[in-house]
């Protein structure tokens, strides 16, 4: 009986997940954003024992979610992929383990904090702020789930499109000082509004 290579089996799972990603993204959308899925790493075998058959191999996958999804549902979908492969390959053995879960959260644009920041932004810039949904990691996820009203606001950095102050491969993520200062003024004006002060007094 030929030896079973864990890397060969993982390659099958890798390909099946690649084929699953478009359907997963198509089924989940909020404010124009669809969750990213990134197969970040495959580790298997022993580089210093190249003559040995690899008996284990791991895939590391980042699966983003939107606010109305459950991480356990994602886990179940991945397990169903594996079961589908096992139906034609009885030697394939794999399990799905979640080691970090940061469920998506939709922040309330009508909250007093969001209203104060939106009003301050429009007062100081002359245009209302854009309300967007991004599947990046930040503390708002945990604060909102703990009942603490939260918003995410500030200059765009490398995610800002069309400008010269975003991402540079030479110096990394950076901001233009004018954008940084404008954000600070918005924070101060919003805090003044929430505290019942006149923004011009700040």
Where are the domains positioned within the chain?
6-86, 112-201
Tokens of 177: 């000082």
Phi-psi sector, 137: left (phi>0), alpha (psi -120 to 50), beta: beta
169 falls in which pLDDT band (50, 70, 90)?
Answer: low
- Residues 167, 161: Cα–Cα separation, whole Å: 9
Which of 85-94, 112-121, 149-158 has the lowest average pLDDT? 149-158
Mean predicted confidence (pLDDT) in 163-174? 56
Q: Residues with Cβ < 8 Å from 122, sequence gap 6 or more?
A: 128, 129
CB 60 within 8 A of CB 40: yes
Mean predicted confidence (pLDDT) in 149-162? 67
**CATH architecture for segment(s) 6-86:** 2-Layer Sandwich (3.30)
Annotate 111-129 with b (16+ C-beta within 10 A) or e (fewer): eebbbbbbbbbeebeeeeb
CB 120 within 8 A of CB 186: yes
- Residues 39, 20: Cα–Cα separation, whole Å: 12
Run of H or E including 58: strand 57-63
CB 59 within 8 A of CB 16: no
Question: Of 19 and 194, which is predicted with more confidence?
Answer: 19
pLDDT in tens, 17-67: 999 999 999 999 988 888 899 999 999 998 888 888 899 999 999 999 888
Average pLDDT, the chain: 84
180 falls in which pLDDT band (50, 70, 90)?
Answer: confident
């Amino acid at each position: 009986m030929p030896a079973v290579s864990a890397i060969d089996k993982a390659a099958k799972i890798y390909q099946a997940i690649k084929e699953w990603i478009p359907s997963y993204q198509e089924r989940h959308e909020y404010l124009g954003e669809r969750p990213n899925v990134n197969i970040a790493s495959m580790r298997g075998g022993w580089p210093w024992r190249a003559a040995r058959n690899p008996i284990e191999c791991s895939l590391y996958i980042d699966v983003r979610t939107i606010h109305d999804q459950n991480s356990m549902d994602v886990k179940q979908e991945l397990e169903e992929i594996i079961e589908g492969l096992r139906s034609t390959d009885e030697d394939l053995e794999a399990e799905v383990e979640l080691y970090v879960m940061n469920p998506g959260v939709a922040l309330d644009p009508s909250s007093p904090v969001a209203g104060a920041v939106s009003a301050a932004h429009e007062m100081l810039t002359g245009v209302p702020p854009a309300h967007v949904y991004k599947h990046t990691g930040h503390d708002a996820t945990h604060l909102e789930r703990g009942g603490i009203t939260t918003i995410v606001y500030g200059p765009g950095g490398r995610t800002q499109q069309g400008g010269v102050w975003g991402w540079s491969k030479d110096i990394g993520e950076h901001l233009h000082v004018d954008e940084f200062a404008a954000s600070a003024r918005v924070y101060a004006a919003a805090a003044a509004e929430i505290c019942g002060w006149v923004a011009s007094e700040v």
